Amino acid sequence: MKDQADGYITADGRQIGPVVMEMKNITLRFGGVEAIKDISFDIREGEIRAIIGPNGAGKSSMLNVISGFYVPQEGEVWYKGARRAPMKPFQVAEQGIARTFQNIALFEGMSVLDNVMTGRLTHMETGLFWQSLWKGKAEREETANREVAEKIIDFLEIQAIRKTPVSRLSYGLKKRVELARALAAEPSILLLDEPMAGMNVEEKEDMSRFILDVNDEFGTTIALIEHDMGVVMDLSDRVVVMDYGKKIGDGTPHEVRNNQAVIDAYLGVAHDD
């Protein structure tokens, strides 16, 4: 693999594009606690980028910075070649960044279909007046977006449960519906916060396949946090390793695996104090 300014080719032969998002010297503090210390990394178009690290390393905080929940005290977020001003999560969503949560954050009172349709909200703009009549523009828009949602439902193989209330589903299915909701937004970057937490081996395999398929078929750039090292090493093109809020490694899975600082962070080292 050769690193170039405008992209590279992965081991399995996929063409990775130019940098789409870049974090520059991000520092995030909560009072006196520094959750993220001066971290920089980039995400390239079409790649699967993993963020790993031991518990409390600041991975989720990093994802929250990207999706607009936290505003870092220092540093800049660059997105599609422009510096991103501090913005609210819903504005980030409008820019085409979707995410899932570590603990499932579905709308329990709604059906699977409605949940997936909420992912289309950023694409729907009919005013209240036409919606209240359910005629013309409103109905056309609803149908057009329903088609997109149905495509995602097909893709993730959840057709059979589309009218089921989400609260009746199993954990693994909920995770899948959450992915469907994020995908329905047709995001340019998809952030996955521990997509395989709490799953058994088969569910993990299913989810891995979906992540690879999403990346392959829709060309979606994916940034994910995951604890299962086997999965991370298999899926991702490049890996950022964090520990205690600092970046201790960045590179291909192979490079990261042989990085002494990373091994120390995961296995621990003898301190002589």
Partner 1 sequence: MLYRESGDFSSTYAEDSQTFPIKFDRYRYYFVLFVAIAVIPFMINDYWVNSLFLPFLIYAIAAIGLNILVGYCGQVSLGTGGFMAVGAYACYKLMTSFPDVSMLIHVLLAGLITAAVGVLFGLPSLRIKGFYLAVATLAAQFFLVWLFNRVPWFYNYSASGQISAPERTFLGVNITGANTQAWATYLFCLMFVIFSAYVARNLTRGSVGRKWMAIRDMDIAAEIIGVNPLRAKLTAFAISSFFIGISGALFFSIYLGAVEVGEAFGIQKSFLVLFMIIIGGLGSIFGSFAGAAFLVLLPVVLKIVGVDWLGWPTDIVAHLQLVIVGGLIIVFLIAEPHGLAQLWRVAKEKLRLWPFPH
Can you give the binding site for partner 1, defined by CB under 8 A? 67, 69, 88-90, 92-94, 98-99, 101, 105-110, 114, 117-122, 124, 126, 128, 131-134, 138-139, 141-143, 146-147, 150, 181-182, 185
**Beta carbon nearer to partner 1, 42 or 150:** 150
Closest among 165, 185, 67, 218 to 118, alpha carbons compared: 185
Q: Tokens standing for 58?
A: 């600041």
Q: Which region holds residue 41: left if phi is over 0, alpha if psi is between -120 and 50, else beta? A: beta
112, 175 contact by CB (below 8 A) = no
**CA–CA distance from 42 to each of 45, 50, 74, 115, 211 (Å)?**
10, 11, 17, 31, 20
**Beta carbon nearer to partner 1, 99 or 247:** 99
Report the nearest approach of partner 1 to the CB of residue 189 (Å): 13
Q: Which residue stretches of the chain are H helix? A: 59-66, 89-94, 112-118, 128-133, 137-155, 171-184, 201-218, 229-235, 253-257, 260-267
Q: How many CB atoms within 10 Å of residue 239?
A: 28
Q: Does residue 111 sit in helix, strand or coil?
A: strand
Report the nearest approach of partner 1 to the CB of residue 120 (Å): 8
Q: Amino acid identity of 58?
A: G
**Beta carbon nearer to partner 1, 34 or 142:** 142
DSSP annotation of 199 reads -
**Beta carbon nearer to partner 1, 80 or 146:** 146
Report the nearest approach of partner 1 to the CB of residue 141 (Å): 8
Report the nearest approach of partner 1 to the CB of residue 104 (Å): 9
**Beta carbon nearer to partner 1, 4 or 103:** 103
Report the nearest approach of partner 1 to the CB of residue 218 (Å): 17
Report the nearest approach of partner 1 to the CB of residue 107 (Å): 4
**Beta carbon nearer to partner 1, 125 or 202:** 125
